[in-house]
Amino acid sequence: MKRKMILFVALQIVFSFALFAQSSIKNYANIKVKAQTYFAANDNMNFTNTASGTLEVQGAARLEGTNSNAAGASGIVVRNSANLLQNSANVNANVQQQIMADRWHLLSNPVAPMNFLSILTGAYAYEYIENSTNTSNAWLNVTSGNMQTDRGYLVKNVGSNRTVNFNGVLNNGVMNFPLNYTSALGIGGAGFNLVGNPFPCALDWNSVTGFDKSNITGILYIWDDTQNQYGSSNGEVSTFALSPANIIPANQGFIVKATSAANFAINNDAKTLDLSTPFYKKGSVTNNLLRMRLSGNESFDEMVVYFDADATLNYDLTKDADKFISGIANIYTLSEDNYKLAINVTNETAKTVPLHFKSSTMGDYTLWINQFTFGDTDIYLEDTQNNTFIQLFTDTKYNFTHSNIGFENRFVLHFGKISTDIENNSVEHNVKIYSSKEFVNIINAQDCKVEIFDVTGRKHFAQTLNSNNEQIKLTSNSIYIVKTVKNNILITEKVFIQ
């Protein structure tokens, strides 16, 4: 008779990589899948963990057949940052997640509901339940009862690092999350819900069949405890806390924005194995993208603006990410309909984008460009408080002092095409700009607003012109940037004064 199983009888078997194609595995020993390694059994093979067997996953394990575990929760152990992808019901396991001391974490439960006191004794834990008055009252302290599988939790352990042990039957199949939606909260405030990854492996947010997103915007938000800021992702582009932009780690709580009071659902198709994203994550790349970061006074933030032909200038539900104000200092842009955005997906018709800076602490700050992938579109940062105007490139840094806490709309991003020719005709508003000796000459200048800056950003001239032909004298030999606005069209030119 042909045997259709592999029988493990050694005291310990350690795998760096294994791919099995037999019909079954019956484990009597100790299988250890080491960190940064992979163990896989195809969908034609069943995995049986006997009462004397253990499966310890430190890396990634994929069990696609029918699985069982007779050894109880201690028989299958999924260590911190590991991934176990399995799709069988009634499989017990111990799933571990480390939380760092004195930091807030968004956490989710990968097993059947467990009593809070058995896993989080002494820790702070909160649910987020939206109400009709304001979001500050939505955080509800949890001190008893069960840690449910249909929501996420905000958790902090005081004094020391802690390994949370989730013991029980692994979640499997369709997992539903009831959504709260309160339209009375208005622009940018309604519909936020704290949910979570209910499985002991990563999720692919871009999975077409793995999620029911019909009642949410499609944007996810995750708290980064190292920066005290929320990262956001639309699945293609993310801010600093998420990388890759589409991966949600095991045991990770995250926030979605509802569009109605219905359900959000996750199923087994969303599961993936990805070892590059342990519990917190970081950004991704696209063309025509500006990634700006803020630092200063022990604070850090990031915002993204990029062009997409299918986007609008207004708030796009499936593309734009709302900005959560948190920590000491924040930067964000505004859509044309006044939504505060951490990720602003707009299109090539955008000429100016308001860039807001908000901080509760006065002092010195730096804006710097971490990523710049625009081609022939140049971008300028205008500081309306200091009357400076600088062109942005990769690694550009702009230092400024914050002394007016109530003044948020300090900066503006200007988008315009730059010509390196001394002379250029703008078809859009028929303004001609050229230099001759120490003069900047502007033709067809009637009702044209003109500003001239040197390469350091210092403004040398600002005026709305009243005649067709104007000549402006500059005193220093240098390259200057001439910014003109006529009929709501921005054109910028570089000229050289000799």
Determine the Cα–Cα distance for residues 9 and 22; give it in Å rounded to an integer. 17
36: left (phi over 0), alpha (psi -120 to 50) or beta: left
pLDDT of 418:
43
DSSP 240: T
Contact at 8 Å (CB) between 444 and 430? yes
Q: Would you list the DSSP string of 331-385? A: EEEE-TT--EEEEEEE-TT--EEEEEEEESS-EEEEEEEEEE--SSEEEEEEETT
- Which residues fall within 8 angstroms of residue 421, CB to CB, at 6 or more apart? none
Q: What's the confidence (pLDDT) of residue 283?
A: 44
Residues sharing a CB contact under 8 Å with residue 100, sequence separation 6 or more, in sequence order:
157, 161, 225
* Nearest by Cα to 241 from 225, 256, 257: 225
Q: What is the pLDDT of residue 347?
A: 92
Q: What residue type is 445 in one-letter code?
A: A
The pLDDT of residue 426 is 42
Largest CA distance in the chain: 101
Ranges assigned E (strand) in 110-161: 114-115, 124-128, 139-141, 146-147, 153-156
For residue 401, what are its two tokens? 């002092």
According to the model, what pLDDT value does residue 281 have? Answer: 38
Task: With beta carbons less than 8 A apart as the criterion, state whether 198 and 109 touch.
Answer: yes
CB 410 within 8 A of CB 385: yes
> What are the backbone dihedrals phi and psi of residue 149, each rounded to the nearest 5 degrees, phi first?
-100, -5
State the pLDDT at residue 240.
73
Cis peptide before 244 (omega within 30 of 0): yes
Beta bridge partners of 436: 439
The neighbour count for residue 128, using CB atoms within 10 Å, is 20
Considering the domain 420-497 in this protein, what is its CATH number? 2.60.40.3080
**pLDDT score recorded for residue 276:** 54
Alpha-carbon distance 415 to 431, whole Å? 18
Neighbours of 208 (CB within 10 A): 9
The contacts of residue 48 (CB under 8 Å, 6+ apart) are 24, 25, 26, 27, 67, 68, 70
Confidence at residue 416, expressed as pLDDT on a 0 to 100 scale:
74
Q: State whether residue 117 is helix, strand or coil.
A: helix
Residue 118's H or E segment, with its range, is helix 116-119
pTM of the model: 0.81
pLDDT for residue 198: 98
> What are the Cα distances from residue 302, in Å, to 55, 249, 356, 468?
41, 21, 12, 43
Q: Please state, in angstroms and rounded to a whole number, the distance separating the CA atoms of residues 273 and 83.
A: 6
The C-alpha R_g of the chain, in whole angstroms, comes to: 28
251 backbone dihedrals φ, ψ, rounded to 5°: 65, 15
Task: Name the E strands within 173-328.
Answer: 175-178, 192-196, 202-204, 211-212, 216-224, 229-233, 247-248, 253-258, 263-266, 271-272, 289-296, 299-307, 321-322
The residues pairing with 157 across neighbouring beta strands, listed in sequence order, are 101
Domain boundaries, the chain: 6-71, 92-284, 289-417, 420-497
pLDDT at 136: 60
Cα–Cα distance measured from residue 115 to residue 111, given in angstroms and rounded to the nearest whole number: 11
Give 10-residue mean pLDDT values along the chain (498 residues). Answer: 38 49 75 83 81 93 92 96 95 96 94 89 90 70 92 93 96 96 72 96 94 95 88 88 79 94 96 62 64 93 94 94 92 95 93 93 95 85 85 89 90 71 46 86 88 81 89 86 80 80
The type of residue at 320 is: D
Provide the 10 A C-beta neighbour count for residue 89: 12
How far apart are alpha carbons 125 and 130 in whole angstroms? 16
Question: Counting beta carbons within 10 angstroms of the beta carbon of residue 158, is it exposed (0 to 12), middle (13 to 18) or buried (19 or more)?
Answer: exposed
- pLDDT computed for residue 350 by the predictor: 85
Strands (E), 185-261: 192-196, 202-204, 211-212, 216-224, 229-233, 247-248, 253-258
Structure tokens of 371?
Answer: 């990523």
Q: CB within 8 A of 322, min separation 6: which ones?
A: 188, 219, 221, 232, 257, 339, 340, 341, 342
- What's 193-211 look like in SS3? EEEECCCCCEEECCCCCCE
